[in-house]
Amino acid sequence: MKFISILLFFLLSLNVFAARVVLLSSVETPKIWYHSKDWKIEDSLEKIFHKSFKKSGYEIIIKEKVDQQTLWEELHNPDNIALFWVSHAKAESQLANGITNDAAVVDYFGNDVKDLFRSVHPNMRYLGLIGCNAKSLLQTFKENGDYNSNPNLITHSFDKKIDARKGLRQSIKNSAKSLGIYKKNRKKDGFIYSTPSILSLFSENRMCEQETSVYEVKITRTSDVDVESVAVKVNSKVLAILPAMSANDIQDVKVFIPSSIVSTKHDLKITIDSNKYYSATRLDLGQFDFQAVNFIGNWKLFAKKDGTPIGITKNLYQYKGKVPEIESTTLKSLYQCSTN
Q: Are both 89 and 226 inside the same structural domain?
A: no
Q: Are both 115 and 48 inside the same structural domain?
A: yes
Q: What is the dihedral of CA 91, 39, 70, 199, to 10 degrees?
A: -90
Contact 159, 135 (CB under 8 A): yes
Give the three-state DSSP class for 324: coil
| Whole-number Å distance between alpha carbons of 180 and 280 | 47
Q: Are both 139 and 186 inside the same structural domain?
A: yes
Determine, yes or no, domain membership for 185.
yes
pLDDT number for residue 9: 40
How many structural domains comprise the chain?
Answer: 2
Helix (H) or strand (E) holding 171: helix 164-174
User: What letter would DSSP give residue 179?
Assistant: H
Determine, yes or no, domain membership for 267.
yes
| Whole-number Å distance between alpha carbons of 28 and 207 | 36
Give the three-state DSSP class for 213: strand
Rg, the chain, Cα only: 22
Q: Are both 181 and 246 inside the same structural domain?
A: no
Mean pLDDT of 148-160: 93
Determine, yes or no, domain membership for 333.
no
Decide which of 182, 208, 234 is a domain's last residue.
208
Q: Are both 192 and 80 inside the same structural domain?
A: yes
| pLDDT tens-digit readout, 12-57 | 434 444 799 999 999 887 676 667 677 788 999 999 999 999 999 9
Contact 255, 232 (CB under 8 A): yes
pLDDT number for residue 69: 97
Contact 112, 104 (CB under 8 A): yes
Decide which of 150, 174, 208 is a domain's last residue.
208
Q: Are both 44 and 134 inside the same structural domain?
A: yes
Q: Are both 116 and 196 inside the same structural domain?
A: yes
**5-19, 202-216, 225-239, 322-336 — which one is most confidently predicted on average?**
225-239
Q: Are both 199 and 227 inside the same structural domain?
A: no
Cβ-based neighbour number of residue 72 at 10 Å: 19
pLDDT number for residue 8: 45
| pLDDT tens-digit readout, 74-90 | 999 999 999 999 999 98
Average pLDDT, the chain: 88
Domain span including residue 204: 2-208
Q: Are both 314 and 203 inside the same structural domain?
A: no
Q: Using a pLDDT cut of 90, give the percent of the chain over it.
A: 67
Alpha carbon of residue 47 to chain centroid: 24
Determine, yes or no, domain membership for 340.
no
pLDDT number for residue 298: 92
276: β partners: 111
Decide which of 148, 175, 208 is a domain's last residue.
208
pTM assigned to the model = 0.90
pLDDT number for residue 327: 79
Q: Are both 169 and 54 inside the same structural domain?
A: yes
